[in-house]
Structure 1
Amino acid sequence: MGRQARRAVLLGIVLETDGGQTLQAQIREQIRRAILEGRLACGTKLPSSRLLAAELGCARGTVLAALDQLQAEGYLVARSSSGVSVAQDLPDDMLAPAPTQSAPHAPMPPPLLPERTRVLLRHAQHAPGHATPGEPPIAFPLGQPDRQAFPFALWAKLLEQDWRRPAWPIAGTPPPFGHPALQQAIAAHLRTARGFSCAPESIVITAGVRQSVSLFARIALEAGEPAWVEEPGYPGIRAALAASGIRAVPVAIDESGFAPATALAMAPDARLAIVAPSHHYPLGTVLGLQRRLALLSWAQRRQGWIIEDDFDGEYRYSGRPLAPLRALDRAGRVAYLGSFSKLLFPALRLSYIVLPPALVPAAQVVLPQVFTPAPLMGQGALARFIAEGHLVSHLRRTRLLYAARQNSLMEVAARSLTGLMHITPDSGGMHVVACPAPALAPGFDDHAATAAALKAGVRVAPLSECYAGPRKQHGLLLGYAGTPHHEIDPAMRRLAHALEAFMPHDAGAGCPAGRT
């Protein structure tokens, strides 16, 4: 059966007896809309509640409740002598006829936004390589681990154990730095897996790398100060600095990574450098020992700071993971960033920053005033996951899995992308960089190629998104960690077919190598 309706001719009210809203809500909303659209002019007297109820075939109390709500909101006024009428003092600019499809109307003027918001909007260009919420898996998304490899059944048990009888402080006001058990578990893991010691109290659990960078910038720098960032580099770092009022100074990397001498020539007054020394994003370059020592020496002389982004330092496929910069720091100038979202599953939304000891007291005061604490629900379970050895086991399994997937991708690319793109294998990480071959390079637009690939059912990311300056290199970033083996071959063939449309008639240079 279709919906049955009751109509009040005097006001044009139509009630759906089996609709999603109550009768009272339908009466209230339709009278309010009639007033705002000008169909009921200011001062218009409404029919009595008895007459409306009779016309609509509903209880008088339902009509009275709707009219009472509109009176409380100021749309209607009630006088004992004249009944209920539309209020006389409604603003004229709020009363307008409903727009019609046949009558075009002028677009709303854009809002006047402050400069710091406009900066964030400029940084917030959508990166097509990242999966959107609710989207089914498509090869080759960036930053996506293999969710099927994660032991969710075990995770559910750890969550249940943690919240069956939570400690009173944990169930009450969350600690601003995060769950103490998770701080202790991270400190123990870093000591054994990454080779440096830190006090658990110096670890701040955050909701992401951007929050970690924003927190540090607010504590350590004045608004408007410059900070060195890698060029190319992770766009989220620049956005986090912009949100904190810090001016990012892109420093072009070379085949040896970030060059402190180049950075000093560009912004000698900078007091912060943000680098990924163990595995640069996105090119995979490893920062050599001499430059690491030079950067540490600069921070000590300048009384400056270094943020070390170790976003995927756990994934190295030849030899042991490289020692982080923090392990060489003797002056307390390095903050260390880590994330569990890429190691475990993205929805976890848990990262951390290990603060230099000198900044811990300031962070304890600033953080609760400026930032919302990271979600506490999974922190206790994650602490158990690490302390009971499950994280080490998971990393061991996925390290083998991702190394095999990169090998598969390289083998398939050698067959499918010959003459189109060139991919150099990486000794670590979760993605590879595809550079246009000489025949494809002239005029190659990685944004257009990304859109064409997506239309073909393949998700890649444009390399140029990682550049802040005018000189951009074009290429494609292919994430392989979250792409099952059986999807790599057909996805690569679809990608090759999409790229063939971009083949020009002349030749040129490709994108930078820069891997070690």
Structure 2
Amino acid sequence: MTEAPTTRSSRRALALGAPAPGETLQRWLYRSLRQAILDGRLGEGALLPGTRALAQQYAMARGTVQLAYDQLLSEGYLQALRGSGTRVSRVLPDASLQAGPAPVRVLEEPSRFQPGGPWLRNVGDQPPAFPLRPGSGLPPAFHPHRCDVRGFPIDLWRRLHGRHLRASKLAILSENEAAGLAPLRAAIARHLDLARGVAVSPDQIVILGSVQQALDICLRLLVAPGEAVWMEDPGYPGARQAMHAHGARVVDVALDEDGMRVHEALAAAPDARLAYVTPARQAPLGMALSPERRLALLHWARERGAIVFEDDYDSEYRFAAKPVPALRSMEGAESHVVLAGTFSKLLFPAIRLAFVALPWQLVDPFTRAASLAARNANALSQAVLADFIDDGHFDRHVRRMRRVYAGRAAAFEAAAHAHWQGLIAVPPVTAGLDVVTRLLAHEERDAWQRLTAAGLTAFPLERYCAQARLAPSLVMGFAAFDEAQIDAGAKAVAAALRGRH
């Protein structure tokens, strides 16, 4: 009996091309074999080379070939029969993959469906508060609000992940508490006590994906459409847009060197249901809310039965002095302040874990609302973060990065002095990941367009403003860039603004 042509041809050396730059061998082999099957170069029933032979042909580990074969087997492209080797399946998992592109249908008349709910009516014409397609890789100079992911101990994080991915600990892959894993909530409560002077029970803490989510839930629970909320101006764009999306009446409150002008907020809307503040380091201007205004804010909340939403987004990174105490640590704040914090700026953005410390009366409704909206945050990441905190790695990382960022703040000031004379004035940088710089020779939009054209990034201050009209300024980040990048970036900024890019 003669052998089928597909069997003979498949015994010959497979020509699969070369991996794409940065592509792993396993991914390349899987992709190339799958494409050869879909193209018909490996026809149905074709016998594939053994794993040892293919590994020798392409100088790779036999285990790599086996993993690629296993994936194709699990997806139905291959079948392994005892005594017959590994062959291309007679019936592929998705016949439509071989059918080519679907024909374009031309509708006889436009669809009558148009999205038009209250959310779109309130914010649909506003630019997104966050980039919908952020660029891959490290951010360009001088992107604000970014930590340096290169400083994160990723090997340690991987080992901690491995600790929880054992057969004896697979319960972590099941459903977990809506409020978050108890070990992480306990670790956060201890950290808040030591680092922020906040005494709170772990049962008052809820774990979420972001501070943005926490604010959205508070608005849903506490503010009816049309009711007033106080918002710093300038202030965090994501917070203002969440308020508008909810249909709240946003009362923009001006700032001075002592932070939010609480007396003006009281005069404009004493019946507000919620106030959003960044009291430790105002976003984006950087001042701390003065003790007198903290007391005035708390007095208003107690008298009116209102809630203060305290966004404590990067208070750990203060270079010249100890962190400013949390508003939530003050006497009388426990029933009227929601303290929110995030690990995305302290560790790395993709961790997507944040928390709130709630007044007791909000714990149950907030937890139920969070569960209804998003069930619960990623439990595996929570378990790893709890270990990271309890084993002391979190404190060590924050202390180390505080020193690193302090050095970069100094380098940023020095680079500005060396390269931006007559262009940009930089104030002393004493905290945070970014700073508001003042433009001396350009309007904000002109400067932003010049920097963008040169492949650089900074945010115009007007992006944070509603009613406020301030001197032309840019919000510029320094923390994500080492000293050499800061100096090179400063030269590039100068060239762009002077028209030499």
**TM bucket normalised to smaller:** 0.7 to 0.9
Partner of 1:313: 315
Question: Helix, strand or coil: the match of 1:142?
Answer: coil
Please say if residues 463 and 476 of structure 1, whose CA atoms lie closer than 8 Å, have aligned partners that are also in contact: yes
Please say if residues 450 and 461 of structure 1, whose CA atoms lie closer than 8 Å, have aligned partners that are also in contact: yes
Partner of 1:466: 464
Does residue 415 (structure 1) correspond to residue 418 (structure 2)? The answer is yes
**Residues of 1 paired with 2:497 and 2:42: CA distance?**
50
Partner of 1:482: 480
Which protein shows a greater Rg? 1
Question: Helix, strand or coil: the match of 1:253?
Answer: strand
- The CA deviation at 1:305 is 0.6
What one-letter code is carried by the residue in structure 1 that aligns with 2:237?
P
TM-score (norm 2): 0.77
The aligned runs of 1:317-336 (5 Å cut-off) are 317-331=319-333, 332-336=335-339
Of 404, 408, 411 in structure 1, the residue corresponding to residue 407 of structure 2 is: 404
What one-letter code is carried by the residue in structure 2 that aligns with 1:492?
A
Does residue 25 (structure 1) correspond to residue 71 (structure 2)? The answer is no
The aligned runs of 1:72-151 (5 Å cut-off) are 93=108, 111-125=114-128, 132-151=134-153
1:239–1:323 Cα change, 3 Å: same
1:320–1:243 Cα change, 3 Å: same
What one-letter code is carried by the residue in structure 2 that aligns with 1:270?
A
- The CA deviation at 1:315 is 0.8
- The CA deviation at 1:451 is 2.9
What one-letter code is carried by the residue in structure 1 that aligns with 2:294?
R
Partner of 1:507: none
Does residue 224 (structure 1) correspond to residue 295 (structure 2)? The answer is no
What one-letter code is carried by the residue in structure 2 that aligns with 1:494?
A
Does residue 436 (structure 1) correspond to residue 451 (structure 2)? The answer is no
Which whole-Å deviations, capped at 9, do the CAs of 1:275-325 have from their partners, x for residues lacking one? 011100111011111110111111000111101111111011112111110
Of 268, 279, 282 in structure 2, the residue corresponding to residue 280 of structure 1 is: 282
**Residues of 1 paired with 2:450 and 2:156: CA distance?**
40
1:19–1:226 Cα change, 3 Å: farther
**Residues of 1 paired with 2:445 and 2:112: CA distance?**
29
Question: Helix, strand or coil: the match of 2:165?
Answer: helix
Partner of 2:187: 185
**Residues of 2 paired with 1:164 and 1:205: CA distance?**
24
- The CA deviation at 1:240 is 2.3
**Residues of 1 paired with 2:477 and 2:200: CA distance?**
32
Partner of 2:378: 375
What one-letter code is carried by the residue in structure 1 that aligns with 2:474?
L
Question: Helix, strand or coil: the match of 1:154?
Answer: helix
1:24–1:453 Cα change, 3 Å: same
Partner of 1:355: 358
TM-score (norm 1): 0.75
Of 208, 213, 216 in structure 2, the residue corresponding to residue 214 of structure 1 is: 216
1:307–1:470 Cα change, 3 Å: closer
Please say if residues 457 and 494 of structure 1, whose CA atoms lie closer than 8 Å, have aligned partners that are also in contact: no
1:201–1:498 Cα change, 3 Å: same
Question: Helix, strand or coil: the match of 1:250?
Answer: strand
- The CA deviation at 1:26 is 6.4
**Residues of 1 paired with 2:146 and 2:421: CA distance?**
26
Moved more, 409-418 or 134-143: 134-143
**Residues of 1 paired with 2:203 and 2:305: CA distance?**
23
- The CA deviation at 1:167 is 5.2
Which whole-Å deviations, capped at 9, do the CAs of 1:126-150 have from their partners, x for residues lacking one? 668x992414432111221111211
Of 424, 428, 431 in structure 2, the residue corresponding to residue 425 of structure 1 is: 428
- The CA deviation at 1:175 is 1.3
Please say if residues 173 and 380 of structure 2, whose CA atoms lie closer than 8 Å, have aligned partners that are also in contact: no
Please say if residues 226 and 248 of structure 1, whose CA atoms lie closer than 8 Å, have aligned partners that are also in contact: yes
Question: Helix, strand or coil: the match of 1:322?
Answer: coil
**Residues of 2 paired with 1:160 and 1:219: CA distance?**
39
1:209–1:474 Cα change, 3 Å: farther
**Residues of 2 paired with 1:290 and 1:174: CA distance?**
42
Which whole-Å deviations, capped at 9, do the CAs of 1:148-196 have from their partners, x for residues lacking one? 2111111011111123256566432121111111100000000011111
Instruction: State percent identity of aligned pairs.
Output: 34
- The RMSD of aligned alpha carbons is 2.9
Of 240, 259, 262 in structure 1, the residue corresponding to residue 261 of structure 2 is: 259
Please say if residues 254 and 468 of structure 2, whose CA atoms lie closer than 8 Å, have aligned partners that are also in contact: no
What one-letter code is carried by the residue in structure 2 that aligns with 1:149?
G
What one-letter code is carried by the residue in structure 2 that aligns with 1:114?
G
1:470–1:338 Cα change, 3 Å: closer
1:264–1:385 Cα change, 3 Å: same
Partner of 1:303: 305
Which whole-Å deviations, capped at 9, do the CAs of 1:193-212 have from their partners, x for residues lacking one? 11111011111111111101
What one-letter code is carried by the residue in structure 2 that aligns with 1:493?
K
Partner of 1:452: 450
- The CA deviation at 1:216 is 1.4
What one-letter code is carried by the residue in structure 2 that aligns with 1:468?
A
Question: Helix, strand or coil: the match of 1:494?
Answer: helix
- The CA deviation at 1:416 is 0.7
Please say if residues 130 and 238 of structure 2, whose CA atoms lie closer than 8 Å, have aligned partners that are also in contact: no
Question: Helix, strand or coil: the match of 1:277?
Answer: coil
1:186–1:268 Cα change, 3 Å: same
- The CA deviation at 1:256 is 1.2
**Residues of 1 paired with 2:284 and 2:387: CA distance?**
32
1:93–1:333 Cα change, 3 Å: same
1:324–1:154 Cα change, 3 Å: same
Please say if residues 164 and 380 of structure 2, whose CA atoms lie closer than 8 Å, have aligned partners that are also in contact: no
Which whole-Å deviations, capped at 9, do the CAs of 1:101-139 have from their partners, x for residues lacking one? xxxxxx9999342232243334434668x9924144321
**Residues of 2 paired with 1:288 and 1:469: CA distance?**
22
Question: Helix, strand or coil: the match of 1:377?
Answer: helix
Does residue 386 (structure 1) correspond to residue 389 (structure 2)? The answer is yes
Question: Helix, strand or coil: the match of 1:155?
Answer: helix
